[in-house]
Structure formats: structure tokens, C-alpha cells
């Protein structure tokens, strides 16, 4: 390949691993470096440490053709590298601000190990001004010339590989044209629109995009929360709104709120970033509050239905924060399971992929089973938390057959109301009229 570069990617989480694999796929020599030796050993054997459709196949292909290497050794990865991508975590601290400790460590790793002129590209989501801070830390410890570029990541978990090759835009923030051009050249083969900005705009574009999407979700959830009782159906409302191109027809699915590793932490971080310049971001604070309440909605509906949940056996279907991922970070299933157990209920949980991760996140009292059917067979009622294909394709007649109380609380509006009526079920969903059938056991 012409212009083949040695590229290092630091951090092999959802962003780093996918970035490294994609860069190797377009022909670069990529060293992925991580401090987690167990993970590196696993990846060296062609095993992905995360569940991400299509990722492992591309990993194996590029390990075998020599384009993709994994190491715990920063020196090995950085020696002669022309570009270094930073993709380590920026989790939230207790006060909601982004914790930059992993970024700071990587800056030192970079400063102590680079051997030649290099472009340092920040993929991690970092507060406005952080790339200048990165520049400052690295230059404190090295005389080797380098430039810093902000290249925020917009991939979604569960479709990360697809999003990397078919994303909507690539943002390149830089103080120097030379560095921006190098990163532009690297990205051209993806054929995605590239927009070049200054460093701080690029950093802000990432937070603003996530905050806007979170706002869209909380907005539609609030509309849902009044629609059901008013006899409107939120799915019709969303669809009707979405015909307006200014609104757009995506990200208007009402449900039990947003979770995941990004929206909850990035909205809180942006509130803090605004606070640093004495701006009260009231809109975003409301978005967060609406979401916190939304995650409790199914438990509240169940308490209203039953009076008390004491002794009730609840099938909790879908545990990850969204389908097609094993990520449990900020999943609504966590708070739901906690509240159910606190109310004296028993929780029987099922997820097609995330059970191992769920065991580390859900209360110890939760029992796990191996199929939707097994969960339903052992339960009085079901809570649908994540719209995995396996869950949405389970016919409602199965719920009717198996659940002792014949009641379903659907947090993702997986079924048509007409199907619930036909299945003779008690069916609660989000922003749609509740179906209460005569034969159902209402206690
Ligand atoms: N997960 C997503 O969907 C997503 C999408 C866009 C942006 N982001 C942002 O990208 C960043 C990374 O997120 P993630 O979910 O991929 O993180 P992650 O927590 O899954 O992975 C981070 C990895 O970095 C490694 N690491 C930490 N310090 C290191 C060091 N000094 N050297 C080498 N490796 C080190 C860790 O061992 C871990 O494997 C965050 O800022 C996040 O906000 C995430
Ligand atoms: O209409 C919708 C769309 C999403 N969600 C929920 O929102 C959360 C986040 O979903 P999604 O955005 O698909 O997944 P993420 O992988 O968290 O991706 C978001 O966060 C990433 C990390 O910053 C960004 O890169 C992506 O662009 C951004 O979509 C999940 O709990 C979804 O169930 C809804 O409730 N309704």
C-alpha cells in the first residue's frame, strides 16, 4: 500500500480496538497497546474481548496478513510510529467531571517512548481544552517534535464496525494544517465526509452531539409519558413527527431511557464543563433528570398494577444497555433489578450475550437462566429491558402460555398493541394505552 504508516493505538476498548482493526484493514501497520495483559494475550490469539458484530473476523484477517499486532509494551508500539491514537477511557468522577487520569498516563507513556516526529490523535471523549493539556504534558517530558489532533469518535456499540466504515462524518480538529492533512489522508479511504475545525470545536462537537441525542431521547420520553394517558400512541406520534426533515425520523424511540458508557457520563461532563465557565446548563440538567426517572418507570408501573411486588417472580429480559452488545455500563436493567429486589421481588434474568458481564453489575440475588422461555416458565410477570431480536421475535402467545400472572411490562415497545389484545395479555408499554384483558389475573 502507498503511504502505509506505522500507527499505534493506545487502549483496546470499544473505540481503540475497532479503530485499530479498521486502520489495519485499510492497509496500515497497526500496533494496539493495552496495559491489560490478559486482554492482549486474548487478542493476540484472534479473540475479541468485546462482543461487537463483525469485529473478530476482521481482527483475524489482519493478524494473519501481518497488519495488526497487539502488545503491552508502549515502547514497541511507539518506536518509529508516525501516528499515535489515544483511545483510553475517560470515565466520570463522583462529581460528574471527566476523569483524565488514563489520558495523563498515556501522555507520559508517549513522551518517554516516541523516537521521531509523530501526530498524537485523541479519539477519547475529552473536555474542551484537553488536547492543549495533552500537548503540555507531552512537551514537558520530551524534545521529540509532535502535533496534537482531536478526532472524536462517533461509533455506536453493537454497530461499531459498520459505523467506522460508513459513519456520517469524520471531525479533525487541529492547530496545524500539516497535522490535519496527515490525519485527513489516513481517513480518505473510508470515503466519509471530513470536516476540519480547530481543536476546541472538535472537542465540543463530540459533547454537543451526544448531549443533543440524549435530549432527543428525553424529549420523546416526556411526550410518551403524557401520550399513553391521553390515549395517543407514542409510536404514531414519533413517526408523524419524523416526517418533518427538520426533526428527522431517528432517535425518537421512547423507552426506559438511555444507558451505556457515553450518554450518561458525557451529559454530566458537559454540565460540569459549562459550570466551569459559570453557565448553568439547565436544559441538559433536565435531560438527565428525566432519564433518571425514566429508568424507574417499569418498576413503578408494576407497583401500581400489583400494589406490592413482594414475592413476585419477575423475568428480566435483556440486560445490556442496548441490543448487540455485552456492555452493561449504565444499563437500565441494573437499577431495575435493584429496585425489584428492594421491593421483595425475585429476579430471573436472561440476556443472549451479556450474562457474564451482568453478574458483575446486578445484585447477587438475581438468578440467571439460558433462554427467554426458561425465564418466562419460572416467572409471574416479565419486564422487557432490551430489544434483542431473540426477545422481540418471541411471540406474545408464549408470554400468555408461560407467565403465571399473564402480565408483561415492555420497556422498549417491542410489540403491537393489537398483538397484545389478540394474545389476551395484560400489557404495559411506554407512551401507549395499557391493555388490560378480562381474563388476565389482576391482583
Ligand atoms: N464505547 C463507545 O461506544 C465510545 C464511542 C465513542 C467515544 N467513546 C470514548 O472513547 C474512549 C474510550 O472508550 P471505550 O469504551 O473504548 O473504553 P474502554 O474502557 O472499553 O477501554 C479503554 C482501554 O484502555 C486501556 N488503557 C488504560 N490506560 C492505558 C494505558 N496507559 N496504555 C494502554 N492502554 C490503557 C484499558 O485497559 C482499556 O482496555 C472514552 O473517552 C469514551 O468516552 C466511546
Ligand atoms: O431512539 C432511541 C435511541 C437510543 N435509545 C437509547 O440510548 C442509549 C444509547 O444508544 P446508542 O446511541 O445507539 O448507543 P451508544 O453505543 O451509546 O452510542 C452513543 O454514544 C457513543 C459514545 O459517545 C457515540 O459515539 C454514538 O454516536 C452515540 O449514538 C441506549 O440505551 C438506547 O436504548 C433510546 O432510548 N431511544
Percentage of the chain with pLDDT > 70? 99
Q: How far is the CA of 86 from the centre of ligand 1 (A)?
A: 9
Q: Model confidence over 226-244: pLDDT tens digits?
A: 998 899 999 999 999 999 9
Q: Model confidence over 359-369: pLDDT tens digits?
A: 999 999 999 99
Measured distance CA(368)–CA(355) in Å, rounded: 7
What mean pLDDT do residues 321-333 have?
Answer: 97
| Ligand 2 near 323 CB (within 6 A) | no
- Determine the atom of ligand 2 nearest the C-alpha atom of 157: 16
> For the residues of 362-393, what is the DSSP string, one character each?
S-TT-EE-SSHHHHHHT-SEEEE-S--HHHHT
What mean pLDDT do residues 180-208 have?
Answer: 98
Vertex 240, ends 235 and 246: CA angle to 5°? 120
* Pick from 183, 158, 175: nearest CA to 86: 183
What mean pLDDT do residues 318-329 have?
Answer: 97
What mean pLDDT do residues 83-88 have?
Answer: 98
CATH of 295-428 given 3.40.50.720, 1.10.1530.10, 3.40.50.1970, 3.40.50.12280: 3.40.50.720
What mean pLDDT do residues 47-69 have?
Answer: 97
Q: Do domains 6-197 and 295-428 have the same CATH topology?
A: yes
Q: Confidence class of residue 437 from pLDDT cuts 50, 70 and 90?
A: confident
What mean pLDDT do residues 402-428 have?
Answer: 97
Mean pLDDT score of the chain: 96
With a CB cutoff of 8 Å and minimum separation 6, the contacts of 418 are none
- Measured from CB, residues less than 6 Å from any atom of ligand 1 are 10-16, 33-36, 39, 87-90, 102, 105-106, 109, 123-125, 153, 155, 157, 261-262
> Ligand 1: which of 8, 14, 71 to mutate, most ligand atoms within 8 Å of CB?
14
* pLDDT at 440 exceeding the cut of 50: no
Q: What is the pLDDT of residue 439?
A: 52
Q: What is 6-197's CATH number? A: 3.40.50.720
Would residue 117 be called left, alpha or beta, if left means φ above 0 and alpha means ψ between -120 and 50 degrees?
A: beta
Q: 442 versus 408: which is more confidently predicted?
A: 408
Q: What is 206-293's CATH number? A: 1.10.1040.10
Burial of 373 (0-12, 13-18, 19+ CB in 10 A): middle
Measured distance CA(86)–CA(78) in Å, rounded: 12
Kindly state the cell numbers that stand for 13: 476498548
Q: How far is the CA of 161 from the centre of ligand 1 (A)?
A: 16
Report which bound ligand comes closest to the CA of 18. Answer: 1
252 is known to lie in a ligand binding site = yes
Q: How far is the CA of 156 from the centre of ligand 2 (A)?
A: 7
Q: Where are the domains of the chain?
A: 6-197, 206-293, 295-428
Q: How far is the CA of 210 from the centre of ligand 1 (A)?
A: 17
What mean pLDDT do residues 93-113 have?
Answer: 96
Quote the ipTM score: 0.98
Q: What is the pLDDT of residue 310?
A: 98
Lowest mean pLDDT among 61-65, 394-398, 437-441: 437-441
Measured distance CA(178)–CA(345) in Å, rounded: 61
Q: Confidence class of residue 443 from pLDDT cuts 50, 70 and 90?
A: very low
Q: Whose CA is nearest to atom 14 of ligand 2?
A: 156
Q: Confidence class of residue 438 from pLDDT cuts 50, 70 and 90?
A: low
* pLDDT at 88 exceeding the cut of 60: yes
Q: Which residues are catalytic?
A: 262
* Pick from 363, 368, 359: nearest CA to 341: 363
What mean pLDDT do residues 111-127 have?
Answer: 97
Q: Confidence class of residue 14 from pLDDT cuts 50, 70 and 90?
A: very high
What mean pLDDT do residues 283-300 have?
Answer: 98
* pLDDT at 441 exceeding the cut of 70: no
Amino acid at each position: 500500500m502507498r503511504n502505509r504508516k506505522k500507527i499505534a493505538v493506545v487502549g483496546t476498548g470499544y473505540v481503540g480496538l475497532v479503530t485499530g482493526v479498521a486502520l489495519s484493514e485499510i492497509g496500515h501497520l497497526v500496533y494496539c497497546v493495552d496495559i491489560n495483559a490478559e486482554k492482549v494475550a486474548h487478542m493476540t490469539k484472534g479473540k475479541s474481548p468485546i462482543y461487537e458484530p463483525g469485529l473478530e473476523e476482521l481482527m483475524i484477517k489482519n493478524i494473519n496478513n501481518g497488519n495488526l499486532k497487539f502488545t503491552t509494551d508502549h515502547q514497541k508500539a511507539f518506536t518509529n510510529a508516525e501516528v499515535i491514537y489515544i483511545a483510553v477511557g475517560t470515565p466520570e468522577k463522583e462529581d460528574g467531571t471527566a476523569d483524565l487520569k488514563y489520558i495523563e498516563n498515556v501522555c507520559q507513556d508517549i513522551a518517554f517512548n516516541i523516537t521521531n516526529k509523530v501526530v498524537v490523535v485523541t479519539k477519547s471523549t475529552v473536555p474542551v481544552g484537553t488536547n492543549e493539556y495533552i500537548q503540555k504534558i507531552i512537551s514537558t517530558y520530551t524534545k521529540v517534535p509532535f502535533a496534537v489532533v482531536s478526532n472524536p469518535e462517533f461509533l455506536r456499540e453493537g454497530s461499531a464496525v459498520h459505523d467506522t466504515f460508513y459513519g456520517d462524518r469524520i471531525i479533525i480538529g487541529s492547530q496545524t494544517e500539516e497535522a490535519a492533512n496527515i490525519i485527513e489522508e489516513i481517513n480518505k479511504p473510508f470515503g466519509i465526509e471530513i470536516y476540519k475545525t480547530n481543536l476546541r470545536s472538535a472537542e465540543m462537537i463530540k459533547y454537543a452531539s451526544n448531549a443533543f441525542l440524549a435530549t432527543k431521547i428525553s424529549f420523546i420520553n416526556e411526550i410518551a409519558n403524557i401520550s399513553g394517558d391521553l390515549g395517543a400512541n407514542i409510536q404514531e406520534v414519533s413517526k408523524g413527527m419524523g416526517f418533518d426533515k427538520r426533526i428527522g425520523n431517528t432517535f425518537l424511540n421512547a423507552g426506559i431511557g438511555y444507558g451505556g458508557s457515553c450518554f450518561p457520563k458525557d451529559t454530566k461532563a458537559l454540565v460540569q464543563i459549562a459550570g466551569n465557565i459559570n453557565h448553568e446548563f439547565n436544559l441538559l440538567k433536565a435531560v438527565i433528570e428525566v432519564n433518571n426517572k425514566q429508568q424507574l418507570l417499569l418498576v413503578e408501573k408494576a407497583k401500581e398494577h400489583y400494589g406490592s411486588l413482594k414475592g413476585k417472580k419477575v423475568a428480566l429480559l435483556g440486560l445490556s444497555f442496548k441490543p448487540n452488545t455485552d456492555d452493561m455500563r449504565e444499563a437500565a436493567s441494573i437499577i431495575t433489578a435493584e429496585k425489584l429486589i428492594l421491593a421483595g421481588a425475585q429476579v430471573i434474568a436472561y440476556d443472549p450475550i451479556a450474562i457474564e458481564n451482568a453478574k458483575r453489575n446486578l445484585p447477587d440475588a438475581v438468578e440467571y437462566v439460558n433462554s427467554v422461555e426458561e425465564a418466562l416458565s419460572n416467572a409471574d410477570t416479565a419486564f422487557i429491558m432490551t430489544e434483542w431480536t431473540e426477545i422481540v421475535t418471541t411471540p406474545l402467545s408464549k408470554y400468555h402460555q408461560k407467565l403465571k400472572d399473564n402480565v408483561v411490562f415492555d420497556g422498549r415497545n417491542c410489540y403491537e398493541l393489537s398483538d397484545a389484545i389478540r394474545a389476551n395479555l395484560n400489557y404495559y408499554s411506554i407512551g401507549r394505552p395499557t391493555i388490560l384483558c378480562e381474563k388476565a389475573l389482576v391482583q
